[in-house]
Amino acid sequence: MTVEQTVPRSPVDRHLSALRPVLEALESESGRLERWGRTLAARLMRGNRMLAAGNGGSAAEAQHFTAELVGRFDGERRPFSAIALHADTSAVTAIGNDYGYDEVFARQVTGHARHGDVVVLLSTSGASRNLLLAAQAATASGATTWALTGERPNPLAGIVDDCVCLPGPAANVQEAQLVAVHAICRAFDAAVAEAGERRAQ
């Protein structure tokens, strides 16, 4: 046995090693991410909006996603309508107080979502009840539902229109989901640019 083999691996080494297979699983979903980005671009260019939600770190990633669309990803283009549902603290606390935390997203989806909108739900477990109710509310509103979750099967993956489900530790899944968000934005921006070029011809 070599000296290197006898040295215990650090927590950082173990964490980074665990991320690699999650990213490999994500790479196998590249076609789906491309379709999502292009579908999202087509919907938002015709006036629909994206609603996004998650809990904890997934809430931060949902807000990151909406910021890329309302602001910009990495090139100039017009802003698009995208709302992170957890970011309206008055709505979240009022709904949570009056109806319970399970309803904090569903009630907002019912209020905001319209036919053709896209509701994106991020969860490492795929089992958060407030996201499950949000998915149901989105479907009732005629919106398309997508989810980024951990390993399949999980309840959320079973009720949305489409899902990217990644196996692995929750922290690594969440990291890979941010990569997925950026990949979707890359496809989104490409579709918007192509539409602009067609209009200019």
User: At which residue do the structure tokens 């789906």 appear?
Assistant: 32
* Residue 91 domain flag: yes
H or E stretch at 122:
strand 118-122
Q: Considering only CA atoms, which of 107, 157, 163, 115 is closest in space to residue 134?
A: 107
Q: Which two tokens stand for residue 22?
A: 């999650």
* Residue 21 domain flag: no
Residue 40: which CATH number?
3.40.50.10490
Q: Which of 18-27, 144-153, 191-200 has the lowest mean pLDDT?
A: 191-200
Tens of pLDDT, residue by residue over 10-56, are 999 999 999 999 999 999 999 999 999 999 999 999 999 999 999 99
| Domain enclosing residue 43, as ranges | 29-200
Q: Please check the confidence at residue 176 and state whether its pLDDT lies above 60.
A: yes
**Residue type (1 letter), 22:** V
* Residue 70 domain flag: yes
Classify strands 144-149 and 118-122 as parallel, antiparallel or unpaired: parallel
Instruction: Put residue 197 in one of left, alpha, beta given phi > 0 → left and psi -120 to 50 → alpha.
Output: alpha
User: At which residue do the structure tokens 């910021």 appear?
Assistant: 67
* Residue 13 domain flag: no
Mean pLDDT to the nearest integer, 82-88 = 97
Measure the CA–CA gap between 68 and 84, rounded to whole angstroms: 11
- 48 beta partners: none
Total of domains in the chain:
1
